[in-house]
């Protein structure tokens, strides 16, 4: 017998609004303030690692990571490793980027790394399919939507808040599942 309940997932998906979602104003969304504060454990979206490595994460994000318990998803590890595979081995910056990604992954404490279970994966696939249909996502955005949905539902199940700079996609997810939690920041240029 499977760990995934298909019928329960279909009942769960009754929140489908059958209409395109509009991005809300920043003032309506949970953004990190100018000063980091304590709160729930956070689950890091892949953009947090990338922004940190590229020096685009605002200082308040580093402060937040110092104050709160940070958790990692195998989804982020997968996306970071995909980046390693995509990088051109002949490019002069590739070796350094791969080294930085390796250090980032190796610095993750094993007891703070979580893998999504079959229930999260099944519901995330259903949710991302709905999101792709509602928002008219094309092929490139569909895989990203699936990964975002897995991370969002994984955080919800574990009682964590997703820390992300991906405001538009996670705003849509919060509209569809208001009981989920995300905390946004703006990457610096």
Q: Report the predicted TM-score, pTM, of the whole model to 2 decimal places.
A: 0.91
Q: Identify whether 158 is part of a domain.
A: yes
In a domain, 159, yes or no: yes
CB 164 within 8 A of CB 189: no
Show the domain range for 98: 29-184
Q: How many domains does the chain have?
A: 1
Length of the chain: 189
Query: Is 16 a member of any domain?
Result: no
Asked if the structure places residue 82 within a domain, the reply is yes
Domain membership of residue 19 (yes or no) is no
**CB-based contacts of 176, cutoff 8 Å, min separation 6:** 15, 16, 17, 21, 127, 130, 131
- Residue/partner pairs of 17-23 with CB below 8 Å, 24 or more apart: 17/134, 17/175, 17/176, 18/134, 19/134, 20/134, 20/135, 20/136, 21/134, 21/135, 21/171, 21/172, 21/175, 21/176, 23/167, 23/168, 23/171, 23/172
- Residue 108 maps to a domain: yes
How far is the C-alpha of 12 from the C-alpha of 30, rounded, in Å?
25
> Element (H or E) spanning 74, and its range?
helix 74-86
List pLDDT tens digits, range 129-176: 999 998 999 888 888 999 999 999 999 999 999 999 999 999 999 999
Mind listing the pLDDT tens digit for each residue in 63-100?
999 999 999 999 999 999 999 999 999 999 999 999 99
Q: How far apart are CA 120 and CA 26, in angstroms?
A: 28
Q: Look at residue 15 and tell me if it is in a domain.
A: no
- 8 part of a folded domain: no
pLDDT tens-digit readout, 7-50: 777 777 777 787 888 899 999 999 998 888 888 999 999 999 99
Task: Say which CATH number the domain at 162 has.
Answer: 3.40.50.1010
Q: How sure is the predictor about 5, in pLDDT bands with cuts at 50, 70 and 90? A: confident
């Amino acid at each position: 017998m499977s760990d995934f309940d298909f019928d329960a997932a279909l009942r769960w998906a009754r929140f489908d609004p059958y209409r395109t979602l509009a991005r809300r104003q920043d003032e309506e969304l949970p953004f990190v303030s100018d000063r980091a504060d304590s709160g729930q454990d956070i689950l890091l979206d892949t953009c947090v690692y990338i922004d940190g490595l590229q020096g685009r994460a605002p200082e308040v994000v580093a402060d937040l990571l110092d104050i709160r318990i940070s958790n990692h998803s195998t989804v982020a590890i997968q996306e970071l490793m995909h980046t390693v595979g995509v990088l051109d081995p002949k490019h002069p910056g590739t070796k350094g980027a791969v080294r930085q990604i390796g250090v980032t992954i190796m610095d993750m404490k094993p007891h703070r790394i979580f893998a999504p279970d079959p229930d999260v994966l099944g519901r995330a696939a259903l949710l991302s399919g709905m999101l792709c249909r509602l928002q008219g996502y094309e092929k490139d955005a569909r895989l990203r939507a699936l990964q975002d949905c897995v991370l969002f539902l994984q955080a919800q199940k574990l009682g964590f808040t997703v820390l992300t700079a991906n405001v538009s996609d996670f705003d849509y997810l919060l509209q569809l599942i208001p009981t989920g939690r995300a905390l946004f920041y703006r990457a610096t240029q």
